Amino acid sequence: MVNKMVNKIRKKLTERQNKVLRTIENFVLEHGYSPTIRQLGEFLGIVHPSAVFKHILSLEKKGYLKRVKGEVKLTGFAALLEKTRVPLVGLVPAGQPREVFDASGEAVDVPDWMVGRRRGNIFCIHVEGKSMVDAYVDDGDRVLVERTNSANSGEMVVARLDDDSVTLKRLRIENGNIFLVPENPEFEPIQVKELRVLGRVIGLLRKY
pLDDT in tens, 16-29: 888 998 888 888 76
**What is the percent of the chain where pLDDT is above 90?**
38
Domain boundary among 26, 47, 79: 79
Domain that holds residue 186: 82-205
Q: Clarify whether residues 87 and 154 are in a common domain.
A: yes
23: domain CATH number? Answer: 1.10.10.10
Our answer to whether residue 66 is catalytic in this structure is: no
How many domains, in total, are found in the chain? 2
Our answer to whether residue 58 is catalytic in this structure is: no
Choosing from 8, 66, 131, 165, which is the catalytic residue?
A: 131
CA distance 60 to 76: 13
**Is 161 within 8 Å of 192 (Cβ atoms)?**
yes
> Residue 116 — very low, low, confident or very high, per pLDDT cuts 50/70/90?
low
Q: Clarify whether residues 96 and 149 are in a common domain.
A: yes
> Residue 93 — very low, low, confident or very high, per pLDDT cuts 50/70/90?
confident
Q: Clarify whether residues 74 and 22 are in a common domain.
A: yes
Angle at 94 between CA 27 and CA 135, to 5 degrees: 35
Q: Clarify whether residues 176 and 197 are in a common domain.
A: yes
Question: Which residues, including other chains, have CB under 8 Å from residue 64's CB and lie 6 or more apart?
Answer: 10, 13, 21, 74, 75
Choosing from 66, 150, 169, 207, which is the catalytic residue?
A: 169
**pTM beyond 0.75:** no
Cα-Cα-Cα-Cα torsion 133, 136, 138, 144, nearest 10 degrees, comes to -130
